[in-house]
Structure 1
């Protein structure tokens, strides 16, 4: 019975001791953190609205020094969360080949961003000086990455139109000289049966060193009803030697095509020319390849019912 009492007493004593130890440590931390300290803290800087005709140097300042006089809790907050200071370079002035941002002229903005009272704290620097190089400007073409799938019986005479079809871009000379065009983001439209229009962004994901004066373009395409037609065309053989007696068949092929319904009646056989070039023939094959060499520019999806034209040479 006495043994059990001694064990109970010992466990109770350890718990009591631990409680007062933790309590004392907490009180000590609170007392220390309540004291006022003076601390120098580097605040990271983020630059916004850099002029499009200028490229900031890699040697630009990465931070400013904030001397803060406050209790330990506030200083611990700055050490832990390390707030950033955003600098709007549209408010900077050019001095030779540098942009100069006067910190002392923007103390109220800095106070609001950093949540600091400048009665007891101060920024060590009076200004931030950012070296730059002038950027080269260039107008480059915009390539459409818009894919249109039409509903049955619909198509378009003209490709998708972009407006504008080019964009002004600025950047370091060594990079901008290698850029000839920029694509749009990929866009797929399905079962289209009416005019299409909208906006699509430029794909600048791999061109982070360049500044674009526009980041999107408008697109448009007139979509109309189309129909399929066919016409029988005689096959013409060219580059046949004068002393060669050539017989070939079939003599005529059928050309299938799609055309705007409004223009269907205007299509005739005289609009097409189908040719086989004997100079490109391997006589061992015994056939020629028919090709459509003339056609109206407003028809689509052309195909022949027969591309291989058989031939024999009469001796």
Structure 2
């Protein structure tokens, strides 16, 4: 009897097209899914949000909503897509207003922008809330000077006409009091220029890496420097002895010294010895000291790197 049952069963399975059975089963499941997902559903979904253009004098608090609920009346396919791959909605807070100490972003007033991001129809889909109300901390403001970290290495024979300039030389920032009170200035990121032979200008970013809770009204400054070819010149100038008591007869030697200077080529012919004044101040004599240190107290503004051949001036007092 058992042998006959096995034989009948084996015969029937041979006659059944098992692959066809699986095909129609799969087809039926697909049709069922399609029918179910084609129906209209009413679901509430969480849409992630991020905030742009936060007013620089305001700091959003940690409990700021990170999503907003959207009630969708869509077919199952659309709802499934939004559930699995929810689009992020960017909220432009420059379009919010302040009310009762909070930032208020009215959804209906910005529906065009929201529709373009989410590609939804507001006739069938509505947000659960009419507006986003965001609490914030009011930041304090402060104006801080900027210190440049631009380093310039000039080619041989070239130099700056004037010192490198930064524009603006100070920046407005805002942030919590306990942070702003510790700040006395800002720095740029380091920038090194090598073998410079011509005028330089450009932008360099401020170093904000250690100040995440501070808002900068500008994050870069412009640097500029005029560069020209320089040459070295020298002139013979007299040494003037000053502040000698009337009852003393003091003689110095040498009475002249060679003065070296740097000047750009176009101004070289303008320089004369009379443009400089070198003095030795007798008031600087201490104890048994028998020498004076000469100083340059007058020079043309367009000259630089002034140095004297004589570092010390000997003197004697004649009675």
Match of 1:178, SS state, is coil
The CA distance in 1 between the partners of 2:296 and 2:26, in whole Å, is 94
Structure 2 match to 1:201: 205
Give aligned pairs, total. Answer: 269
1:182 aligns with 2:170: no
C-alpha contact (below 8 Å) 2:74/2:124 kept by paired residues: yes
Match of 1:51 among 55, 59, 63: 55
Structure 2 match to 1:158: 162
What is the TM-score when the length of structure 1 is the normalising length?
A: 0.69
- With 150-159 and 66-75 compared, the bigger mean Cα shift is at 150-159
C-alpha contact (below 8 Å) 2:101/2:135 kept by paired residues: yes
The CA distance in 2 between the partners of 1:188 and 1:131, in whole Å, is 44
Structure 1 match to 2:134: 130
- CA-atom RMSD in angstroms: 4.0
Write out aligned runs for 1:248-287 (5 A).
260-261=264-265, 262=267
Structure 2 match to 1:144: 148
* CA deviation after TM superposition for structure 1 residue 126, in Å: 1.2
* CA deviation after TM superposition for structure 1 residue 168, in Å: 0.6
The CA distance in 1 between the partners of 2:82 and 2:128, in whole Å, is 16
Larger Rg: 2
Match of 1:168, SS state, is strand
The CA distance in 2 between the partners of 1:151 and 1:181, in whole Å, is 31
Write out aligned runs for 1:9-28 (5 A).
13=17, 15-28=19-32
Structure 2 match to 1:238: none
* CA deviation after TM superposition for structure 1 residue 50, in Å: 1.7
Structure 1 match to 2:240: none
Describe the superposition over 1:42-87 as per-residue Cα deviations: whole angstroms up to 9, x where unpaired: 1122122222222222222222110111112111211122112222
The CA distance in 2 between the partners of 1:303 and 1:23, in whole Å, is 97
What is the TM-score when the length of structure 2 is the normalising length?
A: 0.68
C-alpha contact (below 8 Å) 2:175/2:215 kept by paired residues: yes
Match of 1:38 among 25, 39, 42: 42
Change (3 A) 1:87 1:292: farther
C-alpha contact (below 8 Å) 1:51/1:90 kept by paired residues: yes
Match of 1:149, SS state, is strand
Change (3 A) 1:223 1:35: same
Describe the superposition over 1:7-35 as per-residue Cα deviations: whole angstroms up to 9, x where unpaired: xx97x955444444444443333233222
Match of 1:62 among 62, 66, 73: 66
